[in-house]
Amino acid sequence: MKSLHQQDKDLIWHPYTQHLVEPEPILIERAKGASLFTSEGNEVLDLISSWWTTTHGHSHEKLNQAIINQAEKLDHVMFAGFSHPPAIKLATELITVLPKNLKKVFFSDNGSTAVEVAIKIALQYWKNRGYSTKNKLVALDGGYHGDTVGAMSVSKGSGFFNSYKDYLFSIEVIPFPETWIQDDERLEKEAISLSYFMKLIEEKKQNLCAIIIEPLLQGAGGMRVCSIEYVRKLSQIAKENDILLIFDEVAVGFGRLGEMFACNKSACEPDIICLSKGLTAGYLPMAATVCTDEIYNNFLSQKIHKTLLHGHTFTANPLACAVAHKSLKLFQEEQTLKKIAHIEKKHVDFSQVLLKTNSIFKLRQVGSVLAFDIQSKKNNYKNNLSEKLRFLFLSQGFNIRPIGSSIYLMPPYCISDKELDRTYDVIFKTITSLPTI
Ligand SMILES: Cc1ncc(COP(=O)(O)O)c(C=O)c1O
């Protein structure tokens, strides 16, 4: 009998993995709270919430029960021509927590499809209204919106998609005014970005369909932060110029940045919002693209071509809806936003320690996210720095996965003070001994 590792190697192609050089994956057998447990019984603290999905913690009793209860009633049913209570309950709850202009929920299964749907809705909205030439999308440089073709097309400068660049559609890109704590040039960068947007509008307003942004935090592009004021101004300009505003909150939704959504934090009302990852508390693949009644109403017609002809087999899977609904309830029952505020306070205190070292730069901290770049003394060392650090942290029981030279934490909200302190400790020791690693 082959070992599980060997079977994995023989059969499975892992995501974002160069199988020629990567070591064999770590086998995880179970998880609880903020911890993963390997088949050898070792604990790994999940400090990036398993690709930013786990919110209340792994294997939460109430979430487990919600899935079990639902599985006993209805596992799945197609969602065209049918509906079911878990989807209706979830949509009702979502509409309650989202900005009040967002009224219609379209379900799909992952972050990329949430974005794909948003793009298709935006393009068809203008077409349905008779503005066929309003078909150009705008995005921020360095953004990442997913791995499907539409999502890749609006992800310019993220560096992930060079192999496909000839097959993606063209968009307009504006500079991202990346900022950090103690950044003296923020206002200047924001002015440049906004004037770029204004110029684009001056030249091409008739063609601009929508702008898609990751509000406040570009995730996969390197945990890059921009200011609330910038997001607000950008949103206002889009609104004033008939450009649909799409917030991709796939990564930052459900409390990551301290409030339920980044749009709450920036007091913006996007026309369309994309949600996934934390939607089901990290349990099941699911996404939602939520839009205004105004947009939805422009798809109502006797003419079939005005219909949104889009759908996925597992749209609104009842198990996923049930766990997502329970997760939203837990935000109230467990006062989750208070837990996030506490994590933020811990991050702020640790930031003070970090700022006193000479080992880091570009310190960013928003809600439950803490990020900074490494100041490495050896220039040539940087090339595989992130990989080296990843394995160094893993070998000590911490799932921290740097992006380039950015180290970041985005823990599950159930993480304890003790677990955070252990994490800060290992980070401090690691970065202050960097040149010798
Ligand atoms: C902002 C954002 N949008 C979209 C996606 C794509 O989500 P998925 O990986 O579920 O397709 C991601 C994934 O990291 C993301 O961070």
pLDDT digits (tens, 9 = 90+) for 181-210: 999 999 999 999 999 999 999 999 999 999
More reliable by pLDDT, 1 or 223: 223
Same domain, 320 and 339: no
Task: Work out the average pLDDT over 16-28.
Answer: 94
Same domain, 305 and 377: no
pLDDT digits (tens, 9 = 90+) for 307-341: 999 999 999 999 999 999 999 999 999 999 999 99
Write the CATH number for 124.
3.40.640.10
Per-position b or e across 267-295, b if 16+ CB within 10 A of its CB: ebbbbbbbbbbbbbbbbbbbbbbbbbeeb
**Last-in-domain residue among 281, 307, 333:** 333
Number of H helices, E strands in the chain: 14, 16
Whether residue 382 is predicted with pLDDT greater than 70 in this model: the reply is no
110 lines ligand 1 (CB under 6 A): yes
Same domain, 45 and 152: no
Alpha-carbon distance of 277 to 262, in angstroms, equals: 14
Whether residue 379 is predicted with pLDDT greater than 90 in this model: the reply is no
pLDDT digits (tens, 9 = 90+) for 332-349: 999 999 999 999 999 999
Same domain, 306 and 426: no
**pTM reported for the whole predicted model:** 0.97
Helix, strand, or coil (residue 39): coil
Same domain, 47 and 180: no
Q: Quote the ligand 1 centre to 380 CA distance (angstroms).
A: 31
Q: What does the mean pLDDT of the chain come to?
A: 95
**Last-in-domain residue among 312, 333, 354:** 333
Same domain, 225 and 374: no
pLDDT on residue 362: 97
Alpha-carbon distance of 409 to 412, in angstroms, equals: 10
Strand order in the sheet with 208-213: 102-108, 287-292, 272-275, 244-248, 208-213, 136-140, 172-174
Same domain, 153 and 242: yes
Whether residue 377 is predicted with pLDDT greater than 60 in this model: the reply is no
In eight-state DSSP terms, residue 167 is: G
Range(s) of the domain holding residue 233 = 63-333
Confidence grade of residue 139 (pLDDT, cut at 50, 70, 90): very high
**Last-in-domain residue among 333, 351, 368:** 333
Name the closest-CA residue to atom 9, ligand 1. 111
Tokens at 66, concatenated = 């919600």
Same domain, 233 and 317: yes
115 lines ligand 1 (CB under 6 A): yes
Same domain, 429 and 297: no
Same domain, 26 and 171: no
pLDDT on residue 384: 79
**DSSP-assigned letters across all residues of 190-251:** HHHHHHHHHHHHHHHGGGEEEEEE-SSEESTTTSEE--HHHHHHHHHHHHHTT-EEEEE-TT
Write the CATH number for 370.
3.90.1150.10
Which ranges of 266-335 would DSSP assign to H, the alpha helix? 293-297, 318-333
Same domain, 283 and 419: no
219 lines ligand 1 (CB under 6 A): yes
| Alpha-carbon dihedral sign for residues 347, 284, 398, 381 | negative
| Alpha-carbon dihedral sign for residues 332, 264, 294, 302 | negative
Same domain, 46 and 137: no
Confidence grade of residue 157 (pLDDT, cut at 50, 70, 90): confident
Q: Quote the ligand 1 centre to 251 CA distance (angstroms).
A: 6
256 lines ligand 1 (CB under 6 A): no
Total count of domains within the chain: 2
